[in-house]
Each structure stands twice: as structure tokens, then as C-alpha cells.
Chains A and B, each alone.
Chain A
Amino acid sequence: MGTPVEERGDAVLQVDADALRRLGGKLGTHAAEIGQIIIGAKAIMAEDSPVRAVSDRVPEAVRHAFELIGGNINQMATRMTAGAATYSELEQANTDQLRRYAGS
């Protein structure tokens, strides 16, 4: 059984918890905006054009790339809005996410 949060000695102070919640809301907005980015324009080329074949992949590839960053921001937002119990948990979660993002 784990130690109760109050007894660990690094419980998040209320003032910092408030800042995290505010930040979580802002990050959630940014993530949502990024998630809505679409490349609406389309290159109209002949069916047998090599440009057409590759261009059909572009909107989804770009959206997917932006979503990589948007998804990471959303993870941060979720974590902060949910409210971390301790400073060490918060630090560990951020470090883990950075490691996954950086692929190391």
C-alpha cells in the first residue's frame, strides 16, 4: 500500500494546483485548435500524373504530423487539469512523456 499523499511531504500546494488547472485549460484549447487544422486545397491533376498520386497523400500526412504535437499538448493538458497529487509525480509524468516524444 502506498503512503498517503499528505504524508509524502511533496504534495502539490493549492496555489500551484490552481496554476496547473489554468494552464491545463489553455493547453487544451491549443491542442483542440491544432486538431482542427486541415489542408483543404487540392491539386487537380490528370489521373495518370505522378504529382496527383503523391499529392493525394499530402493533406493527411501534414494533418497527422501536426497531430503528433497537438496530441502531446493534449496529454499535458489532461495531466494538469486532472491535478497531480505530488510534485514528484508531476515531474515523472512530464519526463516520461518527453522521453516518449523524443524516442529515447
Chain B
Amino acid sequence: MTTITHVRACVPETMVSVAEALSTQTNVFTDRVGQMARDVDHELGEWKGAGAAAASARTLAHQLDANHLAETVVGLADHYNAFGTELAGYRDVLLTTVVHATEDDGMSVDDAGNVTAPKVPPGNEHPSVPGLVQHYLDTQAAGYQSKIQHLLAQFGDAETRAAKAITDSLQLLDTYQKNPNSDVGSKVKDILAGRAQLPDDPQQLHDFWATLTPAEKDALWKHDPYIGNRDGIPVVDRDHYNRMTLQDELARARAGDPALQGKRDDLEKINKELQHPDRFLLLIDTKSGATTHAAIASGNPDLADHVATFVPGTGSRPSKSMYMDWVDRMRDQARTAGAKNPAVISWLGYDAPPELLDATHRRYADAGAGALDRFQNGLRASHVGAPSYNTVVGHSYGTTVIGDAASHGRTLNADAVVFVASPGTTVEHASDLSLTGVRSEEVGNRVYATAAVHDPTPLYAANRVGKLDDALFGVDSGPAIHDPYNPSGTGSAPPKESGGLDDYGMDPTDPDFRGRSFPSDPGPSSELGLNGAAHNKYWEPGSRSLEGMGHIIAGKGDKATQIPPAPPPVAQTQPVPPPPPPPR
């Protein structure tokens, strides 16, 4: 059992210092080895004699340069950083609580965290008062004890997990030292030969991946250049292998490879966004969908305490935007709201409706819902340390995808969802949604929505345009779009689909939806009041909506709902019935 004396003797901040030292010295190492390989190339560049002799030296040098020791040590540093931060957090709160109990409230606290209230002397004038006071103090002591012992347990659990993670890295380092370029093991050989498959389940894949040597990971990447897209693989490895795949595809696209026709602009844009620091490429796929699928994180989600996934809507594709400006603003706003180390991901992992009229069809959401579910499960599986607070934020048609991914037999692995400018979420009530790990009666408190007064898109849901269309023209299922990442299809079929204008359910900002709404600025208006430009103003710096999203991502959604609403706009004309705009 973890004791207070034990916690006092630990200085977890020194683990963070170890992480910094490991990172710094690894950089020295990789710089030296890289320079060594360049020196060999340079000095042997004017070689006059037998070419094989120079080639053998180059091969040896580059083989040494291609070592994976640095990645393993960086992984070790990540463990020290994440667990050191987690343990320091528990220690701070624990010791502060002990001080409050003993010094402020006169309690006795033993080493196991048992708390005893001071004894109230008997009173002469009011005999019942001491008993009441004693009862109050005993209750207070019980509260302290519960908190202290819970923190002791958390500290001990985190230490155990940290020790295991560090031990695993050391074993990998040891294996690698014994045989740096060893042949692949039998399990990987079976996969390469097609006799076995990698686990589909993100947690199982994560566990399997942890047993692989760097050489085995390399072999799997050569076998499948999209290995980094697999949900459950640690973020640093996803980024490493996906960047190699990106460079390969970009080179081929620039050379005019017909297989990448129409994808070069997507790849160039992704490559450009990755030049910024602290970016992680979690998904790159030019093959599975009609458009290029990609996901870029700002900050490492595996090490973050708060993680948000952003799902954009109609017309989204990498060549137009990766939305990293919006993503960075959400990350900054979450920090302002109190998140210590947030990460925000731009997820373009589905074929968004290409045009506005396409956005009246639900089949795009149906096809993308499963991929979003697996992506979120993967974030949980690869996360290091205490579970992060995960939020999924959707804009416009992205909210329809999120709602679809959290209902109709599916569950979305998130602690909260945010619907921004929603045309509907495919459900009638917040309680129809399922968030993994959140009790059903609690889900309504984790579902947030906002809409700008001048934004026409939310009126699609508010006026039930799709339902009206069904009533007038009947239901007509459009052609189905398959889920590219799950061709066999799992989960229940969507309940209905119409070919004209699909109904996406109730407006999530409507009180009857029974979620929690938070305010947005009204946005620019027109003579009629509504203005399509208002649809893309939710991430403006200083806006109410951005402030609210920051609170929600930081796990403080109550504060989002307490933001004062914008003053009602001054009416310039008589209100007119809004036209039925298609969702964006």
C-alpha cells in the first residue's frame, strides 16, 4: 500500500528532468551518427579505385545511421515525461490536502491516510452542541480520508504503470543491442506471408505493437505503407511511418504517377502543414476514399491531458484546408481555460459531401461514422498515463457524422461532443447518443451545441427541412457509400435514408433536444438577416463560440454554458421565413 511517507520521498519532477536529459542526449547522438554518414558520402565522393570498396563503406555507414536506438530512447523519454507529470499532479494535490486537514482543520492524518477529527470537549450549557460539532468534524474527516486514500491509490497505480512502461522500453533496447538488424520474428513473418493479420481491435493492436522490434515495424511498413493509419499504434510511430509514406507518395505525385492523379494538391498541403513544429500525421490515405483522407494533430495526443478531435463538414478535403488554424486556436483556448497540455486533431478521415446539395444526403455520414469510432478507440488505446479527457468537435455536416458515429448501435469513445452549426445529428435527443464510458443518464450533460443567429445552416434542422421533403416527395434511398475502412460493415444499419433531402433530426440547440447549448456571436448579417458568411465565423479569435469550445475541451463545460449571450441583433427588416438552405 502506498503511504504518505512514500509519496513525500518521491520527487516526480525529477522524472521530467530525466526525460529532458534523454531527449537532449539522443539529439546529440543522432546528430553525430547522421554527420558520420554524410562524412562518409563526402570523403568517398571522389573515389578513384574499386567502387565496391567505397560502396561497402557507404552501406555500413548508412546501416549504422538507420539504427532505431534513438526512437526507443525517445519512447523512454516520453514515458518519463508523461508519468512524471501525472505523479507530480497527484503528489501536489495529496500533500496540499494533508496540510489543509492537519494545519487548517486540526485533523490527525496517519501514514496510510486515515484521518481522525479532533475530539470536542463536552459542553455544560448546551449539551447537544458538542455532539453536533463532533458529527460535523467526523464527516469532514471522512471526506479528507476518502480523498487522501484515493490519491494514494492513484499514485501507486501510476508508479506501477510507469515502471512497466520503462521496463518494456529497456527490454526493447536490450533486444536491439543484441541484434540491431535482426530478422523478423515468426508472428511478423506470418503477417508478411499473408498467413496472419494484424489485430483489428485498437487495444489488441497496441499491445501487439509493443512487442515488436524496430526492424519488425520497418518490415511491416514495407509490407503495408499505410500501417501508420492503424488505430491503436502509438502516435510517434504513426507519425514516423506516415511521414515516410507521405514523402513517397508526394515524390510520385510530383513525377506524374497516374495513380495519384488529382491528389497532388492534397499531399502538398499536408506536407506544408507538417513543416510547423509539434505536428503529428495520424492518417494519410489517397486510396480508400474519393478524396484524400488525412488527420494531423497539433500536440501529441498520447501525452496530452485533454484531446479534441475536430470533424469538418461539406467540401472539406486537404487541398482546400486542413483547418490547422482553427485547430491551433482551439488548443490555445483550451490552455487558457486551464488544460495543461492539450492536443487537438484535425480529422478528415471520411469522404465529406463535395457540394451543398450532396450535404442533404446522410450516406456520407453513415460511411464515415465507423472510421471515426475506430479513430477515437485508437486514441484511447495508445494514450500514455492517466486517461485524457477526450472531446469530439464537429462543424456543420461534421456534426452529422459525429451524431451518426454515436448512435444507431454505435458508440463514440469520447467524454464530450460539441455540435457547431449543426444541420442535425441523426437523432432526436441527446440521450439517443452513446459515449463510451459515460453513463446513459449523464450523456445529455456531455452534449454541447451552438449556432449563430445569422447562420442559415442550423435552420435545416430547426425547420426540419428533410422531414418536410419526405412528407412531400416520399422516401427514396440514395446510393449507398461503403465504409472504406470496414468493407464488411459492422453496427446496425441506419434506420432510414431519403434520396431527396434527408432529415437529420432535431436541432441540437433546441431545448427539447436536451443537450446543453452555449452562445455564439451572431455573425455577419444581410438585409434578410441570414448570411452564409456567418457559418465560418465560429473560430474567430475572441468569439463566444471559441471561448466556449475551449472550456469544453478543458473539461469545464459548465463555464461554456455560463458565457453571457450576445445582445439580440437590431432588426433591420421585417422577419421573413427562412429559405430551406442545405447543410454545409
Contacts and interface: CB of A to CB of B under 8 A. Distances in A.
Task: Decide whether A and B assemble into one complex.
Answer: yes
Interface of A: 10, 12-13, 15-16, 19-20, 22-23, 26-27, 30, 33-34, 37-51, 53-55, 57-58, 61-62, 64-66, 68-69, 72-73, 76, 80, 84, 87-88, 90-91, 94-95, 97-98, 101-104
Nearest to B45: A19
Contacts of B5: 46
A69 B64 contact: yes
B384 to A, nearest CB: 14
B173 A44 contact: no
Contacts of A65: 69, 72-73, 173, 176-177
B43 A26 contact: yes
B56 A98 contact: yes
B276 to A, nearest CB: 29
Contact of A101 (B49, B63, B166): B63
Contacts of A20: 43
B32 interface: yes
A46 B9 contact: yes
A13 B49 contact: yes
A56 to B, nearest CB: 11
Given A37-B28, A43-B15, A54 B63 contact: no
A22 B44 CA distance: 10
22 contacts: A16-B48, A30-B35, A37-B25, A43-B14, A44-B10, A51-B162, A54-B166, A61-B170, A61-B173, A66-B29, A68-B180, A69-B69, A73-B64, A76-B57, A76-B61, A87-B53, A90-B53, A94-B60, A101-B63, A101-B181, A102-B63, A104-B181
Q: How large is the interface on B (under 10, 10 to 19, 20 to 34, 35 or more residues)?
A: 35 or more
A34 B33 contact: yes
A66 to B, nearest CB: 5
B427 to A, nearest CB: 46
A42 B20 CA distance: 11
B471 interface: no
B166 A51 contact: yes
Interface of B: 5-7, 9-12, 14-15, 17-18, 20-22, 25, 28-29, 32-33, 35-36, 39-40, 43-44, 46-50, 52-53, 55-57, 59-61, 63-64, 67, 69, 72-73, 76, 80, 83-84, 159-160, 162-163, 166-167, 170, 173-174, 176-183
B80 A43 contact: yes
Contacts of A69: 29, 33, 64, 67, 69
A33 B28 CA distance: 9
B22 A62 contact: yes
Given A34-B33, A50-B163, A58 B170 contact: yes
Given A16-B49, A43-B18, A61-B170, A49 B67 contact: no
Contacts of A41: 14, 17-18, 20-22
A12 B48 CA distance: 9
B177 A64 contact: yes
Contacts of A64: 177
Contact of B170 (A33, A57, A103): A57
A97 B179 contact: no
Contacts of A62: 22, 25, 73, 76, 173
Contacts of A58: 18, 22, 76, 166, 170
A87 B69 contact: no
B73 A49 contact: no
A44 B181 contact: no
A73 B57 CA distance: 11
A69 to B, nearest CB: 6
A42 B56 contact: no
Contact of A37 (B15, B29, B50, B59): B29
